[in-house]
Chains A and B, each alone.
Chain A
């Protein structure tokens, strides 16, 4: 782990509560709020939320948090880090305050929206939200065109432990990304392996939704599995898993050097460049994932990779980098589309693809596994699916390596 990573780890969420906020440096920061309302203004659902962060802090000061707890307003928080990134006081809203409040909201919800209920139950039972068999998590490996080592079957020490995550293990378009990623590792000559059926969801969405117990269960499980194998570093395809490992698992002893695939491959740009032989005549616009972009500052790495592909012309959306609009999938939003629709909220993925289409690009490039299904659906709903396709950065790199 680099020094930068070590210093950004907040205190364990297991210790801090709303009552003990003032005992922790990042908790005390919350109390310095100047009530400017930047958070509510920048929140993609700030206009529909009864209690955006500014009001929550105001209610907390007035001793009226119970009112916030008993509203379902915070189900509209998609944990996109927009409020936190724009806060002039640097308060860690998404990272510190909101999870604590959402935990209370979650515990008091009289009824969970059905899709969310199923996704959480499935994640506890099967280790993935889609209710796919845990025994088939690595089934996609057979469809890859390069050898992929599965650690439980061949537990020899390995350099890179690749944490694939749920979407890219089970969802057909996610499996495309996994096949592309495997080819990149292989062509770069990196010694890599996966956990196969022993891997379970990293759980980040559960925590940012307020289902902390589920997150803890998954974290304890994955931590125990990591300890069974020898590897030098972890690389994950999950932007949300990246966040979970970096900010939460680290508090319970996760010390492995760890990267997300996009910044990881960006560090291999020089050896990668000569492999990118095929010209792709695409006009590409890149969507910054909330976790990788706003939360961790990986703005240039994906763009460097895209620019390295022969023939790719990169164009920007008006909202890019720190101002990117969330796909709406974080903090449980993946399973709240029906709920948002019933409430009359605009689907954020639709808001985003409307903007993407205006750039005239024919490829919307992404780095987070949630975005593929969300944007592909949104393009279809908006009638733009003939104009634009969604591709993970790794897919475009792998395509450019084809002979």
Chain B
């Protein structure tokens, strides 16, 4: 089974995010990038599939600071081939990122011929979970998202994927291959890879480079960010003091006053 995993770097929210002086994006000076968490799960699911039925895992990532570490980690974990898309515009919106991935996959026959494309269903800069659906549309492949388990059918021509719904409901779907799957979580947490193995991967493997198409080439309707800002504090919480009885009286008073009781 030939599996393609798409990975993107997103802002690391352990560090404080600052708005750039132009007020239209994040200040890259303070920004640190980290791999999108659900993309890491997509890689794990791909490795599980490979371990079960054999095959090849290829990872394709958009260039970003620290992406090399992520790709070498992927090799250390068991990925066979890693590529990064270089020379793009950077700071891509969801649609643009999906468009660049689609264009690159479309232009490389060995990527285009994979059996399944796995990527994270969501990212902190893509809460609408749109990268994978847009990509699948552009590639003309079926798409299933919010996937938490993938099993290759006996025939090898379809996968059975478990999709999560709200209220703990799960659905099992048969997805004909090739297809694009948006992974919410792998069957087990992404594996730890010892640092020594990553260092060894840096020596034994090369990251292949693929040129990025221009946004115009990727045929993208562009969305312009007009203004980005931090949440503004509008009012403060009121703290109630006193014994539990007094507090409950005050609380009831406030509720009544506001017409909630």
What residues of chain A have their CB less than 8 Å away from a CB belonging to chain B?
Answer: 106-107, 111-112, 114, 117, 120-121, 124-126, 131-133, 135, 211-214, 216-217
Contact = CB atoms under 8 A, between A and B. Distances in A.
The DSSP consensus for interface residues of chain B is loop
Nearest to A117: B192
Given A112-B192, A120-B192, A213 B197 contact: yes
Contacts, number: 38
B14 A121 contact: no
The DSSP consensus for interface residues of chain A is helix
B261 interface: no
Given A111-B188, A114-B189, A213-B199, A131 B194 contact: no
Interface string B179-204: 00000000011011011111100000
Contact of B14 (A107, A114, A132): A132
B191 to A, nearest CB: 7
A114 B188 CA distance: 11
Nearest to B189: A114
7 contacts: A107-B194, A107-B197, A111-B188, A114-B189, A135-B16, A213-B194, A213-B199
A126 B16 CA distance: 13
Nearest to B30: A135
B110 interface: no
A214 B195 contact: yes
Given A114-B189, A117-B189, A213-B199, A106 B15 contact: no
Interface of B: 14-16, 34, 188-189, 191-192, 194-199
Contacts of B195: 124, 211, 213-214, 216-217
5 tightest A-B contacts by CB? A213-B196, A213-B195, A112-B192, A214-B195, A117-B192
Nearest to A116: B192
Contact of A111 (B14, B16, B191, B197): B191
Contact of A133 (B15, B34, B196): B15
A217 B69 CA distance: 14
Contacts of B188: 111
A114 B194 CA distance: 15
Nearest to A110: B191
Given A111-B188, A114-B189, A117-B189, A214 B16 contact: no
A135 B17 CA distance: 12
Contacts of B198: 213
Contacts of A132: 14
A135 B15 CA distance: 8
B199 A126 contact: no
Nearest to B194: A213
Given A126-B14, A211-B194, A213-B199, 13 more contacts: A107-B197, A111-B188, A117-B189, A125-B34, A131-B14, A132-B14, A133-B14, A135-B15, A213-B195, A213-B198, A216-B195, A216-B196, A217-B195
A241 B71 CA distance: 31
B15 A121 contact: no
A213 B199 CA distance: 8
Contacts of A133: 14-16
Contacts of A124: 195
Contacts of B14: 126, 131-133
A107 B193 CA distance: 8
A211 B197 CA distance: 10
A106 B194 contact: yes
A132 B12 CA distance: 11
A111 B77 CA distance: 12
Nearest to B12: A125
A13 to B, nearest CB: 12
Contacts of A114: 189
Contacts of B189: 111, 114, 117
A216 B196 CA distance: 9
A121 B192 contact: yes
A133 B199 CA distance: 24
A83 B50 CA distance: 43
Nearest to B66: A125
Contacts of A216: 195-196
**Most A Cβ at <10 Å: residue of B14, B16, B188, B198:** B14
Nearest to B16: A133
